[in-house]
A and B are shown apart, each in its own frame.
Chain A
């Protein structure tokens, strides 16, 4: 029925990327340019007593040295404005940038940055979030050290606990995670011919960077243009920090009137970029003898690090989804994020879900083990069905609640239950529900601009960004389907703030649903004009191209701005109730894991991933989202840990911060369930993050089934497995 979407297509930027022709930000060059370098803090927490830039300014070839005092406003943040472009009164973590320099060569800029004299008065620092709220802790926030607290509850946990035959009580911990996009942060700031500045930026949200640069330089939004060249990965990590980098480069460009290149080294990227939040999670779950869940109680504390960044929203999602996709008589969930002097934490693929999915899904398996019930059967007995009510009071309806479907399919496809427990190889399962897009976090809307030219070629600009996931190809497919033209007629232009109105951030797995709906709106308006013209001018048999020509001659406009505004959501922070998201997606993964206890090795042989994404628009891209998400989840499960010691990272590069390599990656069996959703373009909704949030618990559950002991702390290293076996309280 569909001519274009859901069929095999290759990505539009494939040839450019495979030949080296694709120009990433650091690959660009502007004549008469300067090179920038950053000087970072030397303390995790200190007062800046003085900054003497004279020694740097005196150096031959140094064009500008800037501090926080140079900015029109030195406050930034997408949610809470607590972050300086350059720290000028206090440094709050070791990654704080204090000085930026522009010089004729990079080497000179770096030397000049080191020549600046900075005088600090070290202050007491906090590195353990559980100490952050103690009376004697230094004040890092405004009134206290709480960044945010979310709470939601339903029923009566005490009563439900007394109804329980079995209760598990577990403390889970997850680490800091570095996004590890292969391309470090990069910006080119180029003064324009008027008052403004154009910044070519490795960002996944050009509009957020535009706000930051405008605020930093005291410009209007239309005086700042952010252009997104191809970006080397984002995963949530190229937002706040990219905006800071942009603002520093833009200020240097404004000061000097020359193009400025600012590219972070890998070490600088590790040092200053925000990480995924470490969580400490105390979970208690109860069930009756027959396996029916009774209650879930979760008390969670997140390390927000030095700045709020996306913590308020990340932890809100954790609170909403804290109880997993299960019916409980009673739920009580408390989520707290606090300031410390560690690296700040923010958005990373999953956005508060990988942590709670690990806890809930591990705890469910523990309960199943205690009650001697098969983990799949346990889940099937308790997962949400059509019309069930979540702990926040939302009725799951208006779309197909497909948890049973994804569970049964994944179990069958993976050969569940697999080898007998006690062998060195076992299957582990995890499932999730996930609210689509931003939900009640904030205004959720998107724009697209579509133009059909007289020759039938199509220009498309959309307010969400290509981060490598294949968004532009998906947008082109949706446009081609709705317009009735061939895919190769559609050109998707690189994201630029001058090309299209602000479409909101490319986060929350909202690219296809937000961007696609906006594109669809514009394309359908144009198609209606073309259909009308075909009738009026008797061109019913004309090709798309011929009809485009007719429309031009007859002055029928074929350029439209498409707009999408999300269906209503609601949230009452006082009661922790509301329709948190306008729709949901469901997924299930099974990991087939071999544990060699003596040889201290864990090998994930295969992961079966079944996801209901509504409708597949771009099959190759969709599959890539799953395989990539699974392997990122494997890194979370087994190897990644951005350890901080007294606020200092133990590793600043990939020599010691290990991410999965080809030899670590399992075979991944991908299957999509399609239950089209009326909220999405052609029924499509979300995929990017669900793929990444349930791999770690599936692996954790497989390991527990294989060795008969539960590791409650990520990453699950051989050492921790050995400790768990020695402790041996699994059965």
Chain B
């Protein structure tokens, strides 16, 4: 039986009737049409479905939609401050060629944004650790890591903090 789910997605309040078995990924893609979040493996191994839930990165294929009740979700469509501009991480991905097929890209960007929120000046090793839940088969990761470091630099100085991969902490 469907239940009412209330949540904030990309700063907009939403109310959706969902089945208790539906995942957050299903709701984002099927009910809200936010198809930037990808379905890659369905079991939390590839990271293509990564979104921010109350600011923390999660594999949305492993989160039941109702678990997101009353919470705030940010997807790739909402990661930039406004529609016309790219988030610095997105910009660096484009500029440095961190994109090939693009299927892993939304999840990668979300993981990177999350890292830079908690650790604005990560080392290369910290970037690699923070993105280790996101698989990419095209790029060999080098340009992705460079792009995240480039974005960190462009976003300005901050204190060096701890590695911020909460999923693995």
Contact = CB atoms under 8 A, between A and B. Distances in A.
A468 B42 contact: no
Interface in A622-676: 623-624, 626-632, 653-655, 659-663, 665, 667-668
A457 interface: no
B97 A468 contact: no
Interface stretch (B1-9, B126-134, B152-160): B126-134
A19 B77 contact: yes
A11 B36 contact: no
Given A629-B140, A659-B137, A661-B132, A19 B101 contact: no
A235 B137 contact: yes
A469 interface: yes
Interface in B1-60: 29, 33-43, 45-46, 48
Contacts, number: 171
A468 B102 contact: yes
Contact of A19 (B86, B97, B103, B133): B86
B139 A628 contact: yes
A307 to B, nearest CB: 24
A183 B103 contact: yes
Contacts of A428: none
Contact of B103 (A182, A631, A655): A182
Chain B interface, DSSP helix/strand/loop, else mixed: loop
B35 A182 contact: no
A17 interface: yes
A20 B137 contact: no
A17 B91 CA distance: 11
A24 interface: yes
Contact of A632 (B39, B131, B137): B137
A165 interface: no
A621 interface: yes
Majority secondary structure of chain A interface residues (helix, strand, loop or mixed):
loop
A27 B35 contact: yes
Nearest to B131: A662
Chain B: interface size category: 35 or more
Instruction: Pick from B35, B39, B93, B142 the residue with the most CB of A within 10 Å.
Output: B142
Most chain A CB within a 10 A radius of its CB, from B35, B86, B128: B35
A18 B105 contact: yes
A470 B93 CA distance: 14
Contacts of B73: none
Given A20-B76, A654-B41, A655-B43, A468 B35 contact: no
Contacts of A13: 99, 102
Contacts of B76: 18-20
B100 A182 contact: no
B167 to A, nearest CB: 13
Interface in A1-50: 10-11, 13-24, 26-27, 29
B42 A665 contact: no
A181 B136 CA distance: 8
Contacts of B138: 233, 468-469, 624, 628
Interface string B113-153: 00000000000000111011111111111111100000000
B164 interface: no
A232 B132 contact: no
B135 A654 contact: yes
A20 B40 contact: no
Nearest to A626: B140
B101 A665 contact: no
Given A10-B94, A14-B93, A17-B102, A624 B139 contact: yes
Residue among A181, A623, A665 having the largest count of chain B Cβ atoms under 10 Å: A665
Interface string A479-507: 00000000000000000000000000000
Contacts of A183: 38, 40, 101, 103
Contact of B94 (A15, A179, A182, A653): A15
Nearest to B102: A17
Given A15-B94, A18-B105, A662-B128, A631 B140 contact: yes
A620 interface: yes
Contact of B40 (A179, A266, A620, A628): A266
Given A17-B102, A623-B97, A182 B86 contact: no
Nearest to A468: B101
Contacts of A621: 97
Centre residue among A22, A179, A231 by max chain B CB count within 10 A: A22
B111 to A, nearest CB: 10
A559 interface: no
Contact of A10 (B48, B95, B100): B95
Contacts of B75: 20
Contacts of A654: 41, 43, 45-46, 135
B99 A182 contact: no
A467 interface: yes
A184 B135 CA distance: 14
Most chain A CB within a 10 A radius of its CB, from B45, B80, B101, B102: B101
Interface centre among A10, A14, A665 (most CB of B within 10 A): A14
A88 interface: no
A650 to B, nearest CB: 15
A232 B137 CA distance: 9
A182 B107 CA distance: 12
A233 B132 contact: no
Contacts of A17: 99, 102, 105
A640 B164 CA distance: 28
Interface string B76-94: 1100100000100010011
Interface of B: 29, 33-43, 45-46, 48, 75-77, 80, 86, 90, 93-97, 99-106, 109, 127-129, 131-145
10 contacts: A14-B97, A18-B90, A182-B103, A233-B100, A235-B137, A627-B141, A654-B46, A661-B135, A662-B129, A667-B142
Question: Closest 7 interchain pairs by CB?
Answer: A20-B36, A468-B101, A232-B103, A17-B102, A627-B140, A27-B35, A631-B140
Given A653-B42, A659-B135, 19 more contacts: A10-B94, A11-B99, A18-B86, A18-B90, A18-B102, A182-B104, A183-B103, A184-B39, A230-B101, A233-B138, A234-B101, A468-B102, A623-B143, A626-B140, A631-B139, A631-B140, A632-B140, A659-B137, A661-B133
